[in-house]
C-alpha cells in the first residue's frame, strides 16, 4: 500500500466528515419524523396524545435494540453497506407512514424508522475511525454532533409548513426524498467510504478480547458507570419532552400558532448546537466537568420553569426555548468527558455502550409520560417536567464528578 493511500489527505478527510455528518443529520431528522405532525395525526386518526407518544416509544425501542446488534454487522460487512441500508430503510419508512391507512401502519412505519436509525452510531463511528486521520478525529466528532442537532432542528421546520399547506401525507412523502437523495450521494462517493481495510485487525482484536470475557464485564461493578447511565436516562427524559411535546405545549399554553410554536423548538436545537461549541472550549479548561454541567443545566431548568409559568409574552417564551437549548448544549461536551474520566482503564468503549443505552430508554419512555400529561390538559407540566429532569441530572453529575476526583486524588497520593 502506498503512502498516499495509507495517509488520508485533508480533502479526503473533509469529504468523509461531510458525508458522514450529512447522513447523521438525516438520522436525527427521522427521530422527529412524526412529532411535528402530531396535531394533524391526532385529528386524522382520532388518537390520544398517549397513543401518539407511543409511536415515538416504538421508534426508540427498536432503535435501542437494533443498535447493539448492528455493531456486529458493521464489523462483519463494513460500515458503508450498513449505512446504505439505514438510509434506504428511513426512506421506505417515510413512504409507509405517508400512505398509512390506520394506526397499525403508523406503528409499522415507526418500527421501520427505528430499524433504519439503529445502524447510524455503530456505522458512523466506525467510518470516522477508519477513514479519517487521527489528527482530525476531534473535528470529525464535533461535526458529527452538530449535524445531529441540525437534523433535529430541521425536522419541524421542514414538516410543519408542508403539512399546513399540503397535508401531512405530502409532508411525509417529501421527507422520504431526503434519505434517498443522501443515499444516492453516498453511492457516488462510495469508494472513500469503504472501511474494508483493517477489518481483519479489528476482528482479531475482538477475538483477543473474547479470551478475556471473565474480566470484560468488570466495569459493570463500578458504581460511577451506573450513575452515568442514570445521568443519561434523566437527561434523555428532558430531551424527550422537548422533542415530543414542546411545540404542542407552547401552542396550547400560549395560544400561539403551530408555526410559531415550531420556531420555539427550532430555537432550542440551534441554540443547543451553539452551546456545544461554547461548551467544548469550557470543557477544555477544567477537569471538574460537573461544574460546567451544573452551570448549563441550572440555567436551562430556570428557563423551562419560566416558560411553564405562562407569565411571559409568547415571543419571550420562544426566545426562552433557545435559552433552554443553550444551557443543555453547553453541558454536552463536559458530559462526554465526565463519562470518559469515570470509565475504568481499557473499558471506555463498553462504558459508553452501557451509558448511552440510558439515552434510548429515556427517549422511549418520555413520550409516554409527557403524552399522558398533555391528555390531562396540562401543557405547563411539560415544561415543569423538562426543568425538573435537568435539575435532577445535576445530582448524578456531581456524584460521578466527586467519585472521579477522589480517584484522581488517591492516584496522585500513591505516586508521591
Q: Exposed e or buried b for every residue in 395-409, given b needs 16+ CB within 10 A?
A: ebbbbbbebbeeeee
C-alpha to C-alpha distance for 115 and 30, rounded to whole angstroms: 11
The grid coordinates of residue 114 equal 427505528
Domain check: are 184 and 301 in the same one? no
What's the CA gap between 266 and 35, in Å, rounded? 13
Residue 173 shares a structural domain with residue 277: no
Task: Give the residue ranges of the chain where pLDDT is below 70.
Answer: 1-8, 68, 71-72, 137-139, 196-224, 284, 287, 336-356, 400-416
Cα–Cα distance, 190 to 194 (Å, whole number) = 7
Does residue 3 belong to any structural domain of this protein?
A: no
Q: Which residues, in sequence order, are CB contacts of 317 under 8 Å at separation 6+?
A: 250, 253, 254, 256, 264, 307
Residue 371: which H helix or E strand, with range? Answer: helix 348-375
Angle at 347 between CA 346 and CA 353, to 5 degrees: 150
Q: Long-range contact list for 187-191, CB < 8 A, 24+ apart?
A: 187/84, 189/15, 189/19, 190/80
199 plus 225 within the same structural domain: no
Is 1 domain-assigned?
A: no
Calculate the average pLDDT of the chain.
Answer: 82
User: Between vectors from CA 362 to CA 155 and to CA 151, what angle results, nearest 5°?
Assistant: 20
Whether the CB-CB separation of 305 and 384 falls below 8 Å is answered with yes
Domain identity same for 161 and 310: no
Q: Which residue's C-alpha cell is 425501542?
A: 61
All cell numbers assigned to 37: 405532525
* Contact present, 356 and 340 (Cβ < 8 Å): no
Check whether residue 123 and residue 31 sit in a common domain.
Answer: yes
> What is the spatial distance between Cα 339 and Cα 225, in angstroms, rounded to a whole number?
8
Domain for residue 209, yes or no?
no
> Would you say residue 412 lies in a domain?
no
Residue 34 has which C-alpha cell? 412524526
Whether 212 is in a domain gets the answer no
Distance (Å, rounded) from C-alpha 137 to C-alpha 135?
6
Residue 216 covered by a domain:
no
The three-state DSSP-derived secondary structure of 184-214 is: HHHHHCHHHHCCCCCHHHHHHHHHHHHCCHH
- Please identify, among 159, 176, 203, the residue that sits at the C-terminal boundary of a domain: 203
Angle at 368 between CA 363 and CA 371, to 5 degrees: 115
143, 17 Cβ separation under 8 angstroms: yes
In sequence order, the 6+-apart residues with CB closer than 8 A to the CB of 191 are none
Q: Which domain holds residue 350?
A: 221-404
Q: What does each C-alpha distance from 319 to 81, 102, 146, 263, 265 come to in angstroms? A: 42, 37, 20, 9, 10
Number of domains in the chain: 2
Q: Report CA-CA distances (Å) from 334 to 17, 201, 346, 393.
A: 22, 32, 20, 13
Q: How far apart are the first and last CA of the chain?
A: 47
3-state secondary structure of 341: helix
> Are both 182 and 246 inside the same structural domain?
no
Q: Which three cell numbers stand for residue 132?
A: 479519517
Q: 402530531: which residue's cell?
A: 38
Q: What is the pLDDT of residues 280-317, one digit of tens each?
A: 777 767 767 778 888 889 999 999 999 999 999 999 99
Per-residue cell: 276:
456545544
Q: ∠250-145-111 over CA atoms, to 5°?
A: 65
Give yes or no: residues 136 and 24 share one domain. yes
CATH number of 344's domain:
1.20.1250.20
- Same structural domain, 144 and 38: yes
Amino acid at each position: 500500500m502506498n503512502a498516499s493511500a495509507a495517509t488520508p489527505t485533508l480533502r479526503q478527510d473533509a469529504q468523509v466528515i461531510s458525508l458522514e455528518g450529512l447522513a447523521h443529520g438525516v438520522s436525527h431528522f427521522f427521530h422527529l419524523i412524526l412529532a411535528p405532525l402530531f396535531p394533524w395525526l391526532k385529528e386524522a386518526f382520532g388518537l390520544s396524545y398517549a397513543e401518539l407518544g407511543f409511536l415515538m416509544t416504538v421508534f426508540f425501542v427498536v432503535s435501542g435494540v437494533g443498535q447493539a446488534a448492528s455493531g456486529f454487522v458493521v464489523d462483519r460487512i463494513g460500515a458503508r453497506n450498513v449505512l446504505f441500508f439505514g438510509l434506504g430503510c428511513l426512506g421506505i419508512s417515510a413512504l409507509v407512514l405517508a400512505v398509512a391507512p390506520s394506526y397499525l401502519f403508523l406503528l409499522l412505519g415507526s418500527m421501520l424508522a427505528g430499524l433504519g436509525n439503529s445502524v447510524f452510531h455503530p456505522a458512523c463511528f466506525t467510518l470516522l475511525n477508519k477513514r479519517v486521520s487521527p489528527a482530525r478525529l476531534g473535528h470529525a466528532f464535533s461535526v458529527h454532533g452538530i449535524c445531529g442537532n441540525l437534523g433535529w432542528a430541521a425536522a419541524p421546520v421542514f414538516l410543519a409548513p408542508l403539512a399546513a399547506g399540503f397535508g401531512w401525507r405530502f409532508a411525509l412523502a417529501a421527507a422520504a426524498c431526503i434519505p434517498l437523495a443522501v443515499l444516492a450521494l453516498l453511492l457516488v462517493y462510495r469508494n472513500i467510504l469503504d472501511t474494508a481495510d483493517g477489518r481483519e485487525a479489528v476482528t482479531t482484536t475482538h477475538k483477543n478480547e473474547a479470551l478475556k470475557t471473565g474480566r470484560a464485564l468488570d466495569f459493570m461493578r463500578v458504581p460511577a458507570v451506573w450513575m452515568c447511565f442514570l445521568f443519561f436516562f434523566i437527561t434523555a427524559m428532558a430531551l424527550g419532552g422537548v422533542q415530543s411535546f414542546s411545540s404542542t405545549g407552547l401552542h396550547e399554553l400560549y395560544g400561539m400558532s403551530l408555526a410559531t410554536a415550531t420556531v420555539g423548538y427550532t430555537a432550542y436545537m440551534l441554540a443547543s448546537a451553539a452551546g456545544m461549541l461554547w461548551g467544548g472550549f469550557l470543557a477544555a479548561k477544567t477537569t471538574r466537568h460537573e461544574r460546567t454541567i451544573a452551570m448549563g443545566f441550572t440555567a436551562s431548568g430556570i428557563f423551562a420553569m419560566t416558560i411553564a409559568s405562562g407569565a411571559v409574552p409568547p415571543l419571550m417564551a420562544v426566545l426562552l426555548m433557545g435559552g433552554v437549548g443553550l444551557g443543555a448544549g453547553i453541558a454536552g461536551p463536559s458530559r462526554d468527558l465526565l463519562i470518559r474520566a469515570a470509565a475504568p482503564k481499557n473499558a471506555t468503549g463498553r462504558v459508553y455502550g452501557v451509558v448511552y443505552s440510558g439515552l434510548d430508554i429515556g427517549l422511549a419512555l418520555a413520550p409516554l409520560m409527557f403524552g399522558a400529561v398533555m391528555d390531562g390538559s396540562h401543557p405547563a407540566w411539560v415544561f415543569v417536567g423538562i426543568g425538573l429532569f435537568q435539575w435532577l441530572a445535576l445530582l448524578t453529575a456531581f456524584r460521578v464528578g466527586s467519585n472521579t476526583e477522589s480517584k484522581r486524588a488517591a492516584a496522585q497520593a500513591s505516586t508521591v
